[in-house]
Amino acid sequence: MVLSVQPARPIRARIDTRAFRDNYLLSKRTAPQARAFCVVKANAYGHGLAQCAQAVRDVADGFALLDLAEANYLREAEYVQPILLLEGCFDAADWHEAASLRVSVVVHSLPQLQALEAARLMRPLEVFLKINTGMNRLGFSVEEVPEVLARLRASTNVAAIIGMTHFATADGEGVDAPWAHFMAATQDTGLQISASNSAALLRFPQTHGAWVRPGIMLYGGSPMPALQSAADIGLKPVMTLESALIAVQELHAGERVGYGGTFVAERAMRIGVVACGYADGYPRHATTGTPILVDGIRTRTLGRVSMDMLACDLTGIPGAAIGSAVTLWGKGLPADEVATAAGTISYELFCALTTRVPVSFAHD
């Protein structure tokens, strides 16, 4: 085998754990009266749970995630903060594991409530009572809250109760109606509350309550890129996806690029071929014109994204050659811009990074 003498494919994701920490501290400064769960579901939005958690070990008020295995990892790694299971428990065994790991659980449905009442737990759990305020995904209706609350209060498996909701439109039209519903359901209960995702944390301070739940902003994505850029919020990019040119082509006028030949050169031009494709997690829906950096200079993608490659315009970058550095998103090129060009959101770009992309972490 001679594989070891092959140069590595140049694609790499660099995770700036210091930027992650700075973004978390910004979220805390923005909601100074609240405690802030670091939302690290989905392997910290594709950034790496272990390294992101480590970067905020001494400052994080808590962690929110979905998976008991991830909660178990944090407890084994001696994180002592509250951990919130955002979808609660899925089966009977989960309640016992949650109790033994000392994690807080969302209760969002009658079957979950019944399972909690029926369990014989080693210690009572802190429960986040989820109230549906218009997302219509998880949660009890406002009308159901009094009965659910009474049952939770009567259960010996419940140590404390926090009222919770999740907004469907905090990044857009706002939260007036859902907030009014949530207030109606909780205001006479004496419950502490948790309602704010990143967008609500940044835009609607009245929703901060006892616990905010910032996610995307910790990773340097704007929760509402059409309204405010990440840089304008003061957020720093955490993931930078880099690669290099592995080929350069000289096109004549009329020649085409990539599958389907969707880009046609209007005049003679140089193009670069980048070692990055949809099998790395780059969005195939990114159309011609999606921004990309070559040797730090902003240019555009050309034609369809292939599985392992994409093409870019080298007009105005005469020094670009095989080996030139390419930034797909991150430092110098906001992921939000690439996401918008691909008809998606930065969340999806980050989570879609595939396992074949080597990841490195900076600890400065």
Ligand X SMILES: *Cc1c(COP(=O)(O)O)cnc(C)c1O
Report residue 122 as tokens: 């080693």
Of 207 and 301, CB closest to ligand X: 207
Among 116, 216, 312, 326, binds ligand X (CB under 6 A): 216
**Binding piece for ligand X, criterion CB under 6 A, among 71-79, 209-217, 231-239, 331-339:** 209-217
Give the CA distances from residue 347 to residues 46, 47, 74, in Å, rounded to whole numbers and listed in that order: 9, 11, 23
Look at residue 213 and give its three-state secondary structure: coil
**Binding flag, residue 178, ligand X (CB under 6 A):** no
In 3D space, the residue among 108, 105, 16 whose CA is nearest the CA of residue 55 turns out to be 16
Q: Which of residues 273-332 bind ligand X (CB under 6 A)?
A: none
Backbone angles phi, psi at 37, to 5 degrees: -70, 130
Least distance CB 62 / ligand X (angstroms):
12
Report residue 9 as tokens: 């494919």
Q: Which of residues 59-78 bind ligand X (CB under 6 A)?
A: none
Report the alpha-carbon distance of residue 135 to residue 36 in Å, rounded.
22
Of 86 and 292, CB closest to ligand X: 86
Least distance CB 138 / ligand X (angstroms):
8
In 3D space, the residue among 53, 64, 56, 22 whose CA is nearest the CA of residue 214 turns out to be 64
Query: Is 41 assigned a catalytic role?
Result: yes
Candidate list 28, 41, 130, 331, residue with the active-site label: 41
**Binding flag, residue 214, ligand X (CB under 6 A):** yes
Report the alpha-carbon distance of residue 238 to residue 360 in Å, rounded.
12
Least distance CB 243 / ligand X (angstroms):
26
Binding mask 16-55 for ligand X (x = CB under 6 A): -----------------------x-x--------------
**Binding flag, residue 349, ligand X (CB under 6 A):** no
Of 104 and 197, CB closest to ligand X: 197
Give the contacts of 319 (CB within 8 A, at least 6 positions apart). Answer: 295
| Long-range CB contact pairs, 74-81, < 8 A, 24+ | 74/49, 75/101, 75/102, 77/50, 77/53, 79/53
How many residues in the shown chain lie near ligand X by CB under 6 A?
Answer: 11
Report the alpha-carbon distance of residue 201 to residue 217 in Å, rounded.
10
Binding mask 134-173 for ligand X (x = CB under 6 A): --------------------------------x-------
Among 62, 215, 277, 334, binds ligand X (CB under 6 A): 215
Give the interface with ligand X as residue ranges (CB under 6 A).
39, 41, 86, 166, 197-198, 213-216, 223
Residue positions annotated with a catalytic role: 41, 259
